[in-house]
Amino acid sequence: MSTIVDGCFSFVNRMAAWVRSRSSTGLLASGVAAGAAMCLYKVIKGRRRRSSLLKALGGTSGFTPFLGFVPTSAEHLFYALDILADTYGDIYAIKLMGRESVVLTDLESIREVLKARPHSYIRSFNKDEILPISGILTSEGEEWKRNRRLTAPAFNEHNSAGMVQAMAVMAKRLVRQLRKLGRQGDGRIVWEPREWLTPCTLDSLCLTTFGMDFYFLNPDGVTIAVGTKEIAESIRHFLKGSTYVLDRVMFPYMTRNRFPWNLNPRIKKFYSSIERLKKFANDLAVQRRREGGELGRAELLDKLLQLEKNDLEGNLVTFIIAGSETTSVSLSWCLYYLSLYPEAQARARAEVDSLGRDPETNDDLEELPFVESCFLEALRIQPPVTLLAHITTVEVSVHGYKLPAGTPILASTRKHMRSNAEGGTFFK
């Protein structure tokens, strides 16, 4: 270790000497060199002080020297952590991208982390401000508690029930869209669920949130206004961009809206779409406040008009992330399992047919308990959020182990929900 440290300091000193020998300002060069040396010293000193989590908890240091385990994709990471849990147990350590992290798969430990989250933990992507918006998803501590307190009433049972009718409208639109895909001859419909469920859930989300129809699905060929098209395009850019930046949570500097990263078209469109959507949300909120509730609107926006400008804009944009992709993924998995288990599919069909009409109200949905159980089972086996990543802000105790501040905590909810105690890995 001392040889590496000496070599690093020697490199910094030689770089400083070279810069000073050029025509640039010597004082600036000395300051840069001193700052770099100090940062390097603090990092190494911190590593020396921190005891090895691998030794305390057991686990793996990975396969790559210095870096440990380097996943090729997010899905690669999720499956690897689940497989390693079979070897090392419900709590273990792993050297991930050069940093020791703690993995949790048991319900008690995961609950322990979530209960203490506003005080002792923060979400990993919030530490580096990956998503440049305010709101319940991107806030921590007291600010998070305030956002949660103010937004929770908008999602109560009464308001949620009022959204069902709008969702039914979009479900029927999806049916009309799929009928157009029927093959000539046998009329069979061959379709890829994610391709069509994503725009359907976006339409449902926008109608229940803003009270506006953007026609992401447009089987009837409705003429769409230019302004509506622009907002719809901004939503698409935002969703693609948010997926892109969240996939790079370990490299936050690559997601910044600054040179050279903003030369990336996805980054550029991501940030411009945020500004466009925030302006749209604010303009719409101003219009709704002028109405003074006279029209009795039931959209989510009207339930949040008491929020401050930044919180309102940020939360409305956040709901687009939280409600679109996750919903379409869950629906896709449910259809997949119903295809694998024809008996379950037949029972679900019979339950819907016994209703005698298309479900259009919350009361109708209450008459479909087996269909609901199918969705819940698909959520259990294939949750749209498989891993909850946090970082400790203070020293904490998890499962009886003391973990220092700055420790990454990876809670694998999917691994727990697939445990034998919760039903295993099969659709039942």
Q: Domain-by-domain residue ranges, the chain? A: 2-49, 53-131+385-422, 150-323, 327-381
Q: Does domain 53-131+385-422 have CATH number 3.30.43.20?
A: yes
Q: Does domain 150-323 have CATH number 3.40.50.620?
A: no
For the stretch 242-261, pLDDT in tens is 989 988 877 888 999 999 99
| 38-42-43-44 Cα dihedral, nearest 10 degrees | 100
Among 109, 159, 152, 194, which residue's Cα sits nearest to residue 384?
A: 194
Q: Which residue has the tokens 């069509």?
A: 196
In DSSP terms, 99 is beta-bridged to 96
Six token digits for residue 390: 């946090």
DSSP string over 213-277: ---SS-TT-----HHHHHHHHHHHHHHHHHHHHHTTTT-GGGGSSSTTGGGSHHHHHHHHHHHHH
Q: How far apart are CA 292 and CA 282, in angstroms?
A: 16
Give the Cα-Cα-Cα angle 392, 394, 398 (nearest 5 degrees): 60
Q: How far apart are CA 24 and CA 2, in angstroms?
A: 32
CB under 8 Å to 187, separation ≥6 — which residues?
Answer: none
What 3-state DSSP class applies to 187? coil
**Per-residue pLDDT, 118:** 84
For the stretch 325-365, pLDDT in tens is 899 999 999 999 999 999 999 999 999 999 999 999 999 99
For the stretch 119-178, pLDDT in tens is 899 999 898 888 888 889 999 989 999 999 999 999 999 999 999 999 999 999 999 999
**Per-residue pLDDT, 350:** 98
**Per-residue pLDDT, 50:** 54
Please confirm whether the linkage preceding 260 is cis (ω < 30° from 0): yes
Q: How far apart are CA 139 and CA 153, in angstroms?
A: 18
Q: Which residue has the tokens 């590593």?
A: 47
CA 56 distance to own-chain centroid: 31
Q: Write the CA distances from 104 to 88, 140, 393, integer angstroms.
A: 11, 21, 17
Q: How far apart are CA 294 and CA 1, in angstroms?
A: 71
For the stretch 22-31, pLDDT in tens is 444 444 344 4
Give the lowest-confidence range in 58-62, 88-92, 272-276.
Answer: 58-62
